[in-house]
Structure 1
Amino acid sequence: MNNRQRPYKIKLIQHSHLDIGFTDRQEKIKQLSIDFLKQVIRINEKIESGERRDWNGFKWTCEAYWSVESFLKSESKEWIVRLEQAIKKGTIELTGDYLHLSELIDEQVLVSKLKASREYADSMGVKVNSSMNVDINGCSQGYGNALVDTGIENLFTCVHTHHGMYPLKRQEPFWWEMPNGKRLLVWNGDHYHLGNDLGIEPLVMIEKEEQGNFVTTPVLHEDVLKDVYKRITSYVQELENQEYKYNFIPITVSGLYGDNCPPNGHIMDFIEAWNGMYGDEVFIEMTTVHDLFEELKNTDKEIPTYSGDWPDWWSDGVGSTPKSTKLFREAQRKLRAINGLNTENQYIEQSEIEELENNLILFSEHTWGSALANGKPWSSLAQSLRFRKDMYATQAHVRAWKALDKILYKKGEVLLSVNRPLTFKLINPNPLSVKEVVKLPVLRKWQTILLKDGFKVVEKGNGNDLVYQTENLDSSGKKIELYVELEFAPYEEKIIELMPCKQEKLIASLSPVPRDKVNDVAKLNTNNPVEANMFRLETPFVKIVWKQGDGIVSWIDKQEKKELLRGDRLYNAFTPIYEITKKREGEDIGSVRRHLGRNRKGFHVERDRGKLTNVKVLSIGPLYAKVELQYEMEGVSYFSLVLKAYANSPRVDASIRVNKDSVWEPENVYISLPFAVNQAVETETWFEKTGGLIRPRIDQLPGTCVDFYCIQEGLAMTSNDQGLVICTPDTPLIQMGSLDAKEVVLHGDTEHIKNSDLLYSWAMNNIWETNFGIELGGFHEFSYSVFWGGEYCSPQHSIETCRGLNTGIVSFYYEEN
């Protein structure tokens, strides 16, 4: 400190880091959050009454509006008045964040929830223009844009670098520019427990008075303050070594060391004692996030501007719960369909939508489970927190379907009855035109008997006969799926009917194979526009070829006569890859995971590739052909890839079914996606993330992750004249580049990382030693769609098409009133 050129001021921000779970049951965390606000209110009132006048200047920053909202919903009018008095006085600071989120949430729910804090503040005449993002390792550019659009000007971040990293430099501000030119002022802070590490949260003695009451007294003797002095001056020297240019230092502190901790008025006792001894060198004052940025704006220092996405290093945790993540994503898409059908709340009350949104955002909150999740996965707390987390996805799924059922019933859905007509209504809930092969509700035995002599499908209104295809759902033929192909304008509704017709037979579609049922003949005499056998799948648009062991070795665009699989691929299309990092001598199950660092695998990782062992032709008809490819691989007892290629469009759907073994050691499962247009020459890769599109490894903040990303509905690869789109409705994680453990490169560190690198769907993992899930065992299904052509040169159009395809067409039994 002797070389210090100026006195410093620590701007101390007291808060409680909110984890909904991790330290206790989720409902208990809500109770704690409410009680922490009551404790702050009591501290405020003691200061005002003069009982604790020495605590004057005490402040508390509420990280997330969820805590305040929970208070408002549960407490009496008297408590609410006392809360609002503390807010208006400035003792309690409201911030603009609703919760600290993973990147699973989409913009429709995010924007809805971000408005809540601002609207409540406006009702009191209080200004809220700052947000506090703590612990998590990033937030999408769309998230930043949503903050700006809801009136937030400032973002204070405190990244926890466990398995992650902050961008740029810590303890420095920057302007974060959005695609529309609007900017968010960011202070890129240090760890959120820094104040506790430095000793600013004083030790407290609990003593018993003669009357029998317990009292707390902070330990503030000279030796304690000297020790804190060494820590603080060492930290200041570290900042000076990185050419820190401000005379104030923002530092966060919790009332006790840990997450979900209460306020601590005794920190004011420490500040008074410190300032009395060392305040002429480093003065400490308690402040708020808003006041921090006001002081920053009053400086004359130049603040750099950066733009781009801020990928969250911790987003990989969503792959630890693949089943509930799939449910969550389906519920989120159903909400989009509901909003498309319920534009004026004419079918569903807004309160029902809010309950659905509440469950969606609670599942996407960054806390997945217990601190014991992987070290003691059998513990009651670990199991309880995991089931409750899954419950949010399940409840969101239930509420989404209940709301959609209500809408469909009001739109004419006829429920199961003896005389139910074979009439169906189909609705496009999307704001764009869609051409789709639509699956109708299942036909059951008593219905198929009515149609045993044949039928036709007629579009009501124009009388057009529609081409259709059927599939048996079981060997008995008691349940049949029926598919028709239709084009829809935005939000268009169509009605179709099944009519008896002697010329058609109700049989499941299958090619005229030889009597031995082996599909191995190159060309069979069939009128179907699609072909499939043991070695290839072919339509007018694509020819897919596979080999035993190797899997899919070719994927030809027949219109352009070009190979769509990359020549530099290491694994073939949709080949599964399994990784395990085994414990070494001296390691326990926790330390082997801690040592994975940012690679998400160990240097000694073992890897196995799926080997193709068997092929089945499932269906051939006028609309599509479907085949099943079966693989063998370590880590799974069953792995099946079902490909469905369409007769009238350049599109292939893929469905992966897997029975995963239960393994305690850290694992990853990837699916290879080695697709490209023009062999990845002069092409760009685009990801849909929350609220917008990015080019990974291009549109990013310096110093951010370039190995994996959490995306929304899919990705696109575009060139001047061609495009290829991959929809990922169930699996949000995408790995980019090499799967090997390697020296970690951050964005901006090198020019050698490519935007057009190899891609993998990161289907599941259990690599974290804390918080995230460990049990991957059981049955899973993951769906993908691949489509391509000249109309997909625009990334915006490509992703809009992807969203529409994933949301789908709504179909149901219908009867006019």
Structure 2
Amino acid sequence: MPSLPADDRTDDLAADGAPSPGGPLLDRAIRQVLLVGHTHHDVGYTNSPRLVDDLHAETVRRVLDLCDTNDGDGPDAFRWTFEVVRPVLRFLETAGPADVDRLRRRVAEGRVTVTGGYLNMTQLPGDAELDAAYDALDRLRAAGVPVRTEQHGDVNGIAWGAVDAMRRAGIDRLVMALNPDHGRPPYPQPTGFWWEGPAGGRVFTWLSTHYGVGEEWGIVDGDVEAAEAHVADFVAALGERDDYPYDTAVVHAANDNRWPTALFLEVVRHWNARHPDVPMRTATVDEALDVLRPQAEAADVPVARGEWSDWWAHGHGSTAREVAVYREARSFARAAQTTLGLTRLRGDGSPALADVIGYRRGPVRLRSDAEVARDLDRVDAELLLFAEHTWGSWETYSKPYSSFSHSHWNAKAGFAYGAFDLARDLAVEGLFRVVVSDDPAGARPAGSAERATRVVVVNPTGRARTEPVEVEVHGRARARTVATVPAFGVATVPLPPPPGGSRAAREVACGAYRAVVDPARGGVVSLVHRPTGRELVDDVAGHGLGAVVTETVVPGSEHPMVVRDPKDFHPDFPGPDFDRRHATGDEEPLVTEAGTWARIAWRTTPPGLPTTTTTLTLYRDLDVVDLEVALVKPEVFGPESIHVAFPFRVADPELLLETAGAVYAAETEQLPDTSKDWYSIQHAVGVHRPGEDGGVLWGAVDAPLVQLGGLHTGEWARKLRAPTGYVSSWLMNNLHFTNFQARQEGTRAYRYRFAAVDGPVTRERVRVFGRDLAEPLQARAYDGPVTVDGATGLRVTPADRVLAEVRPLADGSVRVRLRNVAADPVEAEVAWDGPGRVVGAGPVLLGPHGVGDVRLRREG
């Protein structure tokens, strides 16, 4: 492994040629230089996340002290921008009145700006996590600190739905300081444009230089000569650009986790002594955008609409198992919010408490309202800390075996596992409470005294659903059945008998589908949707559906990333060439049949890996297909990838992808030069040919990365080539040089669900399909009391137009958040038909892709 640089700094962004020695800059269009002091916020990277997160909170007092010792309003006064809001929120939790007043006063003076992004996020968070991050700004504003701008550093993309979420949070300006490694910006850096969200609102977006110039150019260390030379070249280059309609140059005084100092003020003083014709002054990011935005409006800069698909998202595949745990955790969190919220509205009953603090047991005690709110907030924070962009330490690649590298990843992964543990515990408690809610006397309906083990199922969403559920029985076996549950309801179904024995066969037919498996081709070679006669598998791919495909660099490759530096996996160096081979097997598949389902399982061996078991499950009365890949992945260092192939037979498709808060068409609804080699989705993809009925809804439960139309790793394509409906679940890859994990491993079962669609594949259907995967029916094999049968009382209409999320709040109320999934306005209504008196229900008008809240409260 080559020796790597000890950070994620960009290459020098100055103009070509030797640095200029100073002196007048002649008659350039640039009239001033604004120097924005901040630190780039990594939760980790330079030190353990366990330490970094606490130290960032301490930077707030440090900044306030520096404002005091470098006071005034001159060009060299100390001004500072908090790049993200989390450290300031943590500061407010413990700060005394005097320190809070200092912060408020410095913000009012324009000496300090607090921006609105919770952390520098990846594209992993969904709309609920984005909302949790922006909802946290209420605490900041309650302290008298306004927020107008979001700043995002390093990450090369952000979900399209974030635009609407920002606007709802009162933010209409965004700074993106992209890292040029492993990606391309949508426009030349720096520049400005309007980014339009799905609902039509816009944010002014400043596509800045990478923040790392602050260190590379000597600015943060007060190297005045080097800083002068680099800034002079930068200013000169801007003055020569015909596409830069601004008279101001914005320069970052920052780098990764820099402890705030005032050294960069010397750069201002030195520059102004040498270049009075183009003065420099310190500025906050708010002040910088106050200057730039009016000039952008006057210049009529471009309006861009679509997803900012992240070139860095391939890093999600470096830790497949932990990303899957994170996604499980947020599903548990959403279920917990709903069941605990419904219980609060209905009133507590008498749940069966356990006498052991056990993973497979029920709760031993019930949380108070305050404890529920506190623990849900803790889950939100853990989820956001994991989805933040810092995946590894700065020596992950140069010293992959060091204790620091392992400790760093242990801390980072701990955010996912911490969220999982707490969210699952909340969800278990919520299920136990809601199924006996409004039963304070412990009354039991007729027949319940038998207490036989059965399957109790809770629907955490506002639409009636019929879906497969799988439960663990007495800690020894798993049982699968199909349940129909009303919206926000509870259903109890019999525990299914164990399935019969298995038989060797290559074909299975059940319900709407007939499948044929060929292990030599790795998977399903024919999958016919029997109601329509459609063949779903495209045999041109050369391997079957569900096949595991490995991707390794061809032997003897002289690609720069192989022979020189893994950092050269980059648009400037297309490639390398990959050897792609699918898993094969020679054992006969096994078919197992049960009352509600039938499955076929086969074993194959991917090149270089242990044997993999793949299972396809069909249902007698349900038009969906489940596929699970149980993969054993030993730890490997070096570039490789693992895919699970879904070659759907759809020619010239439009591919609709679910991102946070939106669904977009790959290629046609993306910002220029954003990632088309790979995409990070929430859960769902729609595959269809425009203008024709019939397509496929596909979803990944555990793994967010996909490639479309074929495998494109290393093409750095400016245009998506997708001649067929081939969807690849890009499970794992190891194509990094820093920040992400140097090893690739991730032994577990990875789950998928898909369905043939008879009518049109719409954005609304994709959104709902993804939501149902993110919020599955909650099921448990249970022999305790159940007093709720059917609906719980909460009703949201029209159920086919809006998504609803329930959450109990600290003030004792229950929030129902409604999301309009369509481009047309809708009048929704929240109603209560359940026991007790609940106030606050009523109608709410939702604009296109709009979001609205209703607060409910139980009285008496």
Q: Partner letter of residue 808 of structure 1?
A: P
Q: Partner letter of residue 700 of structure 2?
A: T
CA contact (8 A) 1:440 1:481 kept: yes
Q: Distance in 1 between matches of 2:116 and 2:154?
A: 16
Quick one: which of 71, 80, 84 aligns to 1:60? 80
CA pair 437-583 structure 1, distance change in 2 beyond 3 A: same
Q: Partner letter of residue 168 of structure 1?
A: Y
Q: Which residue of 1 aligns with 2:658?
A: 688
Deviation at 1:35, TM superposition (A): 3.0
Q: Which residue of 1 aligns with 2:241?
A: 242
Q: Distance in 1 between matches of 2:273 and 2:165?
A: 44
Quick one: which of 696, 700, 704 aligns to 2:670? 700
SS at match of 2:484: strand
2:755 pairs with 1:787: yes
Q: Distance in 2 between matches of 1:262 and 1:742?
A: 37
Q: Distance in 2 between matches of 1:252 and 1:426?
A: 53
Q: Distance in 1 between matches of 2:217 and 2:235?
A: 11
Q: Distance in 2 between matches of 1:388 and 1:10?
A: 40
Q: Which residue of 1 aligns with 2:115?
A: 95
Q: Which residue of 2 aligns with 1:528?
A: none
Quick one: which of 289, 293, 300 aligns to 2:289? 293
Q: Which residue of 2 aligns with 1:609?
A: 582
CA contact (8 A) 2:194 2:202 kept: yes
CA contact (8 A) 2:537 2:648 kept: yes
2:264 pairs with 1:267: yes
Q: Partner letter of residue 762 of structure 1?
A: W
CA pair 126-344 structure 1, distance change in 2 beyond 3 A: farther
SS at match of 2:743: coil
CA contact (8 A) 2:110 2:287 kept: no
Which stretch of structure 1 is more off in the superposition, 533-542 or 648-657?
533-542
Q: Distance in 1 between matches of 2:147 and 2:343?
A: 29
CA contact (8 A) 2:462 2:488 kept: yes
Which stretch of structure 1 is more off in the superposition, 726-735 or 648-657?
648-657
2:538 pairs with 1:566: yes
2:334 pairs with 1:317: no
Deviation at 1:804, TM superposition (A): 1.8
Q: Distance in 2 between matches of 1:141 and 1:722?
A: 27
CA contact (8 A) 2:655 2:666 kept: yes
CA contact (8 A) 1:716 1:799 kept: no
Q: Partner letter of residue 184 of structure 2?
A: M
Q: Which residue of 2 aligns with 1:476?
A: none
Q: Distance in 1 between matches of 2:562 and 2:90?
A: 37
Q: Which residue of 2 aligns with 1:449?
A: none
SS at match of 2:735: coil
Q: Partner letter of residue 616 of structure 2?
A: L
Which stretch of structure 1 is more off in the superposition, 711-720 or 321-330?
711-720
SS at match of 1:438: strand
Deviations 1:351-402 (A, max 9, x none): 1110011110000000011011122111111001101111111011111111
Q: Partner letter of residue 693 of structure 1?
A: V
Is there any run of 5+ residues in structure 1 with no aligned partner, and where? Answer: 204-218, 445-478, 499-504, 512-518, 520-532
SS at match of 1:771: coil
CA contact (8 A) 1:613 1:632 kept: no
CA contact (8 A) 1:711 1:732 kept: yes
Q: Percent identity?
A: 23
SS at match of 1:727: strand
CA contact (8 A) 1:320 1:776 kept: yes
Which stretch of structure 1 is more off in the superposition, 733-742 or 243-252?
733-742
Is there any run of 5+ residues in structure 2 with no aligned partner, and where? Answer: 1-23, 345-366, 437-441, 443-448, 788-860
2:300 pairs with 1:302: yes
Q: Partner letter of residue 286 of structure 1?
A: T
Q: Which residue of 2 aligns with 1:18?
A: 41
Q: Distance in 1 between matches of 2:30 and 2:192?
A: 20
Quick one: which of 575, 590, 596 aligns to 2:547? 575
CA contact (8 A) 1:715 1:725 kept: yes
Q: Which residue of 1 aligns with 2:51?
A: 28
CA pair 189-622 structure 1, distance change in 2 beyond 3 A: same
Quick one: which of 737, 750, 766 aligns to 1:769? 737
Q: Distance in 2 between matches of 1:35 and 1:424?
A: 50
Q: Which residue of 1 aligns with 2:458?
A: 427
CA contact (8 A) 1:432 1:490 kept: yes
CA contact (8 A) 1:626 1:644 kept: yes
What TM-score do you get using the length of structure 2 for normalisation?
0.79
Q: Which residue of 2 aligns with 1:365?
A: 388
2:499 pairs with 1:508: yes
Matches within 5 A, 1:656-695: 656-676=629-649, 679-681=650-652, 683-695=653-665
2:502 pairs with 1:534: no
Matches within 5 A, 1:185-584: 185-203=204-222, 224=225, 228-243=227-242, 244-254=244-254, 258-280=255-277, 282-299=278-295, 300-343=298-341, 346=344, 349-412=372-435, 420-442=451-473, 479-496=476-493, 508-510=499-501, 519=503, 533-551=504-522, 552-581=524-553
Deviation at 1:28, TM superposition (A): 1.6
Q: Distance in 2 between matches of 1:107 and 1:569?
A: 35
Deviation at 1:325, TM superposition (A): 0.7
Q: Partner letter of residue 177 of structure 1?
A: E
Q: Distance in 1 between matches of 2:268 and 2:507?
A: 75
- Number of matched pairs: 719
SS at match of 2:414: helix
Q: Partner letter of residue 557 of structure 1?
A: H
2:99 pairs with 1:79: yes
Q: Partner letter of residue 112 of structure 1?
A: A
CA pair 694-587 structure 1, distance change in 2 beyond 3 A: closer
Q: Distance in 2 between matches of 1:755 and 1:71?
A: 53
Deviations 1:595-620 (A, max 9, x none): 22259995243332211322332511
Q: Distance in 2 between matches of 1:405 and 1:721?
A: 41
Deviations 1:748-785 (A, max 9, x none): xx5x7348553210001122121111333362210111
Deviation at 1:270, TM superposition (A): 2.3
Q: Distance in 1 between matches of 2:247 and 2:766?
A: 49
Q: Partner letter of residue 701 of structure 2?
A: P
Q: Partner letter of residue 698 of structure 1?
A: T
SS at match of 2:706: strand
Deviations 1:248-273 (A, max 9, x none): 0111112xxx4100223232232122
2:102 pairs with 1:130: no
SS at match of 2:120: coil
Q: CA RMSD in A?
A: 2.8
Q: Distance in 1 between matches of 2:556 and 2:103?
A: 51
Q: Distance in 2 between matches of 1:24 and 1:659?
A: 31
Q: Distance in 2 between matches of 1:574 and 1:816?
A: 39
CA contact (8 A) 2:127 2:661 kept: yes
CA pair 18-554 structure 1, distance change in 2 beyond 3 A: same
CA pair 584-375 structure 1, distance change in 2 beyond 3 A: farther
CA pair 585-595 structure 1, distance change in 2 beyond 3 A: same
Q: Partner letter of residue 378 of structure 1?
A: Y
What TM-score do you get using the length of structure 1 for normalisation?
0.82
CA contact (8 A) 1:673 1:760 kept: yes
Q: Partner letter of residue 165 of structure 1?
A: R
Q: Partner letter of residue 112 of structure 2?
A: I
Q: Partner letter of residue 167 of structure 1?
A: P
Q: Which residue of 2 aligns with 1:451?
A: none
Q: Partner letter of residue 283 of structure 1?
A: P
Deviations 1:618-638 (A, max 9, x none): 511332111211112223112
Q: Partner letter of residue 422 of structure 1?
A: T
Q: Which residue of 1 aligns with 2:160?
A: 141
Which stretch of structure 1 is more off in the superposition, 368-377 or 149-158?
368-377
Deviation at 1:345, TM superposition (A): 7.5
Q: Distance in 1 between matches of 2:328 and 2:411?
A: 19
Deviation at 1:802, TM superposition (A): 3.9
Deviation at 1:488, TM superposition (A): 2.2
CA contact (8 A) 2:575 2:714 kept: no
Deviation at 1:422, TM superposition (A): 2.7
Q: Which residue of 2 aligns with 1:213?
A: none
Which stretch of structure 1 is more off in the superposition, 389-398 or 539-548?
539-548
Q: Distance in 1 between matches of 2:294 and 2:179?
A: 28
